[in-house]
C-alpha cells in the first residue's frame, strides 16, 4: 500500500513531511486537501483526521498526525539517513530547534488563525499580514540567536540536514510568503540557502507543487 500523505501545497507542515520523505528517498503519493477553501472541515477529510488539519501520513493503513510525530515515525521505520541524531544531547537540541517553529512561531500564522482574526476582531488583510510578520520575525530572530551561538557546520547540527534544518527552512518559506527579507538574519539565510540547494528541499518548496501552479495560473 505504500505511503500516502494528505497535504496542501502551501502548508508548512506538509512541506516538512515532504522534505523528510525525499531525504529518505521514500516514494509517496500526496493527496491535496485545500485548507484555504476549508476542504479539511468536510466530512470526508474529518474522518481521516480528527483534528481537521494537514498533513495526515498513512503507511500501510496506519495513520500518523502532526509533522514532528510523522518525521519521528519515519526515523523509526526507515532510519537512513537519520533526521534526528542518535546522541542524546544532540537529539534534544534538534527537537528544541524544531519545536521553536512547530510549537511557537508557525501555529500563529496558519489559515485558521488568520481567518479567526478577521472574524473575531474584524482584522483586514493588512492587519493580518502585519500579525504574520510579527510572529514570523520573532521565530527568525530566535533561530538567528541560536545559530549565532553554535554556527551551522554546514547544517544546524552538523554535516547532514535533519529535522532542525527542515523546520528552519519551513520558517524561511513563511517569511517568503510574507515578503520578509532575511537581511537581519544572516545565519538563517545561509542555512536555508544550503537547504534549498538540495533537491529534496527544492522540489518540496510550496511554489514547486502542482497545486501552487494551478492556483497561480491565469484564470
Three-class SS string for the chain?
CCEEEEECCCCHHHHHHHHHHHHCCCCCEEEECCCCCCHHHCHHHHHHCCCCCCCEEEECCEEEECHHHHHHHHHHHCCCCCCCCCCHHHHHHHHHHHHHHHHHHHHHHCHHHHHHHHHHHCCCHHHHHHHHHHHHHHHHHHHHHHHHHCCCCCECCECCCCHHHHHHHHHHHHHHHCCCCCCCCHHHHHHHHHHHCCHHHHCCCHHHCHHHHHHCCCC
Q: How far is the CB of 72 from a second copy (least distance, A)?
A: 6
Q: Closer to a second copy at the Cβ: 78 or 198? A: 78
Q: Closer to a second copy at the Cβ: 102 or 192? A: 102
Asked whether the beta carbons of 177 and 30 are under 8 A apart, the reply is no
Q: Closer to a second copy at the Cβ: 82 or 91? A: 91
Q: How far is the CB of 208 from a second copy (least distance, A)?
A: 25
Q: How far is the CB of 116 from a second copy (least distance, A)?
A: 7
Q: Closer to a second copy at the Cβ: 74 or 195? A: 74
- The three three-digit cell numbers of residue 187, written as one number: 545565519
Q: Closer to a second copy at the Cβ: 123 or 198? A: 123
Residues at the contact surface with a second copy, assessed by CB under 8 A: 50-53, 62, 64-66, 68-70, 72-73, 76-77, 88-89, 91-93, 95-96, 98-100, 102-104, 106-108, 113, 116-117, 120-121, 123, 127, 130-131, 134-135, 142, 145-146, 149
Q: How far is the CB of 18 from a second copy (least distance, A)?
A: 18
Q: How far is the CB of 214 from a second copy (least distance, A)?
A: 27
Q: Closer to a second copy at the Cβ: 37 or 96? A: 96
Q: How far is the CB of 77 from a second copy (least distance, A)?
A: 6
Amino acid at each position: 500500500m505504500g505511503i500516502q500523505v494528505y497535504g496542501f501545497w502551501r502548508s508548512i507542515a506538509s512541506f516538512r513531511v515532504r522534505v523528510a520523505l525525499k531525504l529518505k528517498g521514500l516514494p509517496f503519493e500526496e493527496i491535496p486537501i485545500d485548507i484555504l477553501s476549508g476542504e479539511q472541515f468536510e466530512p470526508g477529510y474529518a474522518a481521516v483526521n480528527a483534528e481537521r488539519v494537514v498533513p495526515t501520513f498513512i503507511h500501510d493503513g496506519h495513520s500518523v498526525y502532526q509533522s514532528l510525530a510523522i518525521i519521528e515515525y519515519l526515523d523509526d521505520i526507515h532510519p537512513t539517513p537519520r533526521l534526528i541524531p542518535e546522541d542524546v544531547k544532540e537529539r534534544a537540541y534538534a527537537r528544541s530547534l524544531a519545536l521553536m517553529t512547530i510549537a511557537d512561531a508557525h501555529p500563529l500564522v496558519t489559515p485558521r488563525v488568520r481567518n479567526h482574526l478577521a472574524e473575531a476582531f474584524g482584522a483586514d488583510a493588512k492587519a493580518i499580514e502585519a500579525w504574520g510578520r510579527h510572529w514570523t520575525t520573532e521565530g527568525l530572530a530566535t533561530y538567528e540567536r541560536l545559530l549565532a551561538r553554535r554556527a551551522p557546520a554546514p547544517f544546524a547540527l552538523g554535516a547532514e540536514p535533519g529535522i532542525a534544518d527542515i523546520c528552519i527552512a519551513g520558517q524561511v518559506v513563511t517569511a517568503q510568503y510574507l515578503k520578509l527579507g532575511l537581511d537581519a538574519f544572516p545565519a538563517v539565510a545561509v542555512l536555508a540557502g544550503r537547504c534549498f540547494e538540495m533537491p529534496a528541499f527544492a522540489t518540496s518548496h510550496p511554489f514547486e507543487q502542482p497545486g501552487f501552479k494551478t492556483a497561480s495560473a491565469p484564470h
